[in-house]
Amino acid sequence: NAGVTQTPKFQVLKTGQSMTLQCAQDMNHEYMSWYRQDPGMGLRLIHYSVGAGITDQGEVPNGYNVSRSTTEDFPLRLLSAAPSQTSVYFCASSYRRSAYEQYFGPGTRLTVT
Amino acid sequence: AQKVTQAQTEISVVEKEDVTLDCVYETRDTTYYLFWYKQPPSGELVFLIRRNSFDEQNEISGRYSWNFQKSTSSFNFTITASQVVDSAVYFCALSGRARGKAAGNKLTFGGGTRVLVKP
């Protein structure tokens, strides 16, 4: 199993540009989520999904969109990039129940200039 | 609302010293899960342990041990005889009960504690 994969590893955007961060998992996990990591703030939940076609907002959803058309994929779209979105983005997946640990992808380091 | 506090932002020790990382949490749920993750300098997040709110037994795994005290809402982590490879950022996290379509898997993270082990 590849686990959770994310592309790209690094990205530089100009303010106002849009892009999609890709996330895929091959463990048949129902639950997938996106977090951003900023210095001193731990990881904060952006959006999550409990299955194909079902998504919901996390703690910091503004400026991001998600969709989940398949169990495997959960892309994160930045609609109009802002410098405040400079961060490291992690995708995670797990079985749905909260007892299960989440498996994290390797992260995408995004810089918005 | 859930909250996790890791008051120590950075701890520096010399190899073979013990180091304890504090984690204090807040939740209104009676059923919840606590986790520790390690983030080495390479950047990935590595799962270390999960503990449910009904199990207050301490746990030991090699040089790692965890002390869960519900009375003080704490879930502390100790590395015994630290090694240079233990240098990393360690995160404590909390998940609660699912409500409606909301997943109970939503993790609330603490700010992390950076551990630096010097040779």
pLDDT tens digits along A30-47:
999 999 999 877 899 999
Question: Of residues A88 and A99, which shows the higher confidence score?
Answer: A88
pLDDT at A44: 95
Tokens of B107: 């993790």
| Residue B105, phi then psi, degrees to nearest 5 | -75, -10
B107, A50: Cβ pair inside 8 Å?
no
Pick from B41, B40, B43, B113: nearest CA to B76: B113
Gap between the Cα atoms of B41 and B70, Å rounded: 32
Gap between the Cα atoms of A104 and A34, Å rounded: 9
The partner residue sitting opposite B44, judged by closest CB among A94, A99, A106, is A106
Interface of A with B in 46-105 (CB under 8 A): 48, 50, 54, 56, 58, 88, 90, 92, 94, 96-104
Chosen for mutation from B107, B113, B114 (greatest number of chain A CBs closer than 10 Å) is B107
Gap between the Cα atoms of B84 and B72, Å rounded: 31
Residues in chain B within 8 Å Cβ distance of A97: 98, 104-105
Low-confidence spans in chain B with pLDDT less than 70: 97-104
- Mean pLDDT value across residues A51-75: 94
pLDDT at B114: 97
Question: Of residues A100 and B71, which shows the higher confidence score?
Answer: B71
pLDDT at B59: 84
